[in-house]
C-alpha cells in the first residue's frame, strides 16, 4: 500500500526565510501529487497539484513544488515566507495505477510556524 | 466557489448519546470521504463512497460508527453511542474521478465534536 512521509513534523522560520518541506511516497507507479494547507482552526485547502507535464508546479500564494520521480519526492518550496503562512501542510498522493479512484493517501503533516 | 457544506459546525454531547453529522458534497462530485482529525492521530480516513456506494470503511470502528449516502446530495456519519475518545474534528470531502486532471478533494469546514 502507498505511504507518504513528511519527515519534518515541526518547522520554525523567521519571516523572509526560504522554506522547503519534504514529502516522499513509497509506490513508484503513476501518481497524482498534492499539497494541502490547513490554517489554524480551518479546513484543508488545496495549495497545488501535479498530475502530468512540467514537474515544477506553481500553486497559490507563491508556493511551488517539484516532482522528482527518481527520488519519489514532491517537496514544497517558497522563497520567502510570511507570518500568514503559519499553518499545517499536508502532502498527499493518489495512485493512478491501483484502481484507488481519487482516494488520497496523506502524510502526517508538517506544522510551520513563522515568527514575525 | 463551490463548497462542501457540513453541519453542525460544533457539537457538544454527553457520553452515550447519538451524534449525526451531515455533509452536502459539491454538485456533480461522485466521491465522498469522511476523515477524523485529532492531535494524537492526525488525519484518519473513516469512509469512502463512490457513486453513493461505500468502497472503503476499514478505518471506521464498526461497532459504533456508521456512514451512509441516502442520496447524492447528502452523506451522513453517525456515532451511537458516543464516547469521549470520539472527540475530534470530522471532515467531509468530495471529489470527482471522471478525469485524472480533476483529482483532488474539496474539504468541508468540519464538525468539531466534543463528547463529555
Residue-wise pLDDT for A72-90, tens only, equals 999 999 999 999 999 999 9
SS3 B31: strand
pLDDT at A98: 67
B65 touches chain A (CB under 8 A): no
Mean pLDDT across A21-26: 96
pLDDT at A27: 79
Mean pLDDT across B25-52: 93
Question: Rounded to an integer, what distance in angstroms lies between the CA atom of residue A114 and that of residue B7?
Answer: 32
pLDDT band, very low/low/confident/very high, at B2 (cuts 50, 70, 90): confident
Residues of A with Cβ-Cβ distance to B56 under 8 angstroms: 103
Mean pLDDT across A42-53: 93
User: Do B104 and A102 count as a contact with CB atoms less than 8 A apart?
Assistant: yes
Question: Contact, A76 vs A93, CB < 8 A?
Answer: no
pLDDT above 70: percentage of residues in chain B: 100
DSSP one-letter code for B79: E
pLDDT at B72: 94
Which of A96, A101, A106 has its CB closest to that of B50?
A101
Residue A71 has pLDDT above 90, yes or no: yes
pLDDT band, very low/low/confident/very high, at B99 (cuts 50, 70, 90): confident
Higher per-residue pLDDT: A66 or B101: A66
Mean pLDDT across B87-93: 97
* Other C-beta atoms lying within 10 Å of the C-beta of residue B57: 17
DSSP one-letter code for B36: E
How far does A57 lie from chain B, in Å, by closest CA?
14
Query: Which site among A9, A43, A98, A100 would you substitute to test the B interface, given the most B Cβ atoms closer than 10 Å to its Cβ?
Result: A43
Q: What is the 3-state secondary structure (H, E, C) of chain A?
A: CCCEECCCCEEEEECCCCEEECCEECCCCCEEEEEEEECCCCCEEEEEEECCCCCEEECHHHCEEEEEHHHCEEEEEECCCCHHHCEEEEEEEEECCCCCCCCCEECCCEEEEEEC
Residue B66 has pLDDT above 80, yes or no: yes
Residues of A with Cβ-Cβ distance to B97 under 8 angstroms: 101-102
Question: Rounded to an integer, what distance in angstroms lies between the CA atom of residue A2 and that of residue A25?
Answer: 7
Residue A99 has pLDDT above 70, yes or no: no
Mean pLDDT across B18-28: 97
SS3 B109: coil
Residue B101 has pLDDT above 80, yes or no: no
Residue B98 has pLDDT above 90, yes or no: no
User: Do A32 and B100 count as a contact with CB atoms less than 8 A apart?
Assistant: yes
Cα→Cα distances A76→A67, B8, B49, Å: 9, 33, 30
Residues of A with Cβ-Cβ distance to B47 under 8 angstroms: none
pLDDT at A96: 73
Amino acid at each position: 500500500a502507498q505511504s507518504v512521509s513528511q519527515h519534518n513534523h515541526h518547522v520554525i522560520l523567521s519571516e523572509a526565510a526560504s522554506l522547503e518541506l519534504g514529502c516522499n511516497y513509497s509506490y513508484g507507479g503513476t501518481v497524482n501529487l498534492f499539497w494541502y494547507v490547513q490554517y489554524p482552526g480551518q479546513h484543508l485547502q488545496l495549495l497545488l497539484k501535479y498530475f502530468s507535464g512540467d514537474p515544477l508546479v506553481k500553486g497559490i500564494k507563491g508556493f511551488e513544488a517539484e516532482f522528482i520521480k527518481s527520488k519519489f519526492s514532491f517537496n514544497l518550496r517558497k522563497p520567502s515566507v510570511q507570518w500568514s503562512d503559519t499553518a499545517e501542510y499536508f502532502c498527499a498522493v493518489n495512485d493512478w495505477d491501483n484502481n484507488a479512484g481519487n482516494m488520497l493517501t496523506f502524510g502526517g503533516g508538517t506544522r510551520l510556524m513563522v515568527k514575525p | 466557489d463551490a463548497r462542501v457544506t457540513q453541519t453542525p459546525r460544533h457539537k457538544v454531547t454527553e457520553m452515550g448519546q447519538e451524534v449525526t453529522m451531515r455533509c452536502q458534497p459539491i454538485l456533480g462530485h461522485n466521491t465522498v470521504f469522511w476523515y477524523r482529525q485529532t492531535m494524537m492521530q492526525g488525519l484518519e480516513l473513516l469512509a469512502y463512497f463512490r457513486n453513493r456506494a461505500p468502497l472503503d470503511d476499514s478505518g471506521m470502528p464498526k461497532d459504533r460508527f456508521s456512514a451512509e449516502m441516502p442520496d447524492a446530495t447528502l452523506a451522513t456519519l453517525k456515532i451511537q453511542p458516543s464516547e469521549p475518545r470520539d472527540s475530534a474534528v470530522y471532515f467531509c470531502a468530495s471529489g470527482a474521478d471522471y478525469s485524472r486532471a480533476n483529482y483532488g478533494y474539496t474539504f468541508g469546514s468540519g464538525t468539531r465534536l466534543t463528547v463529555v
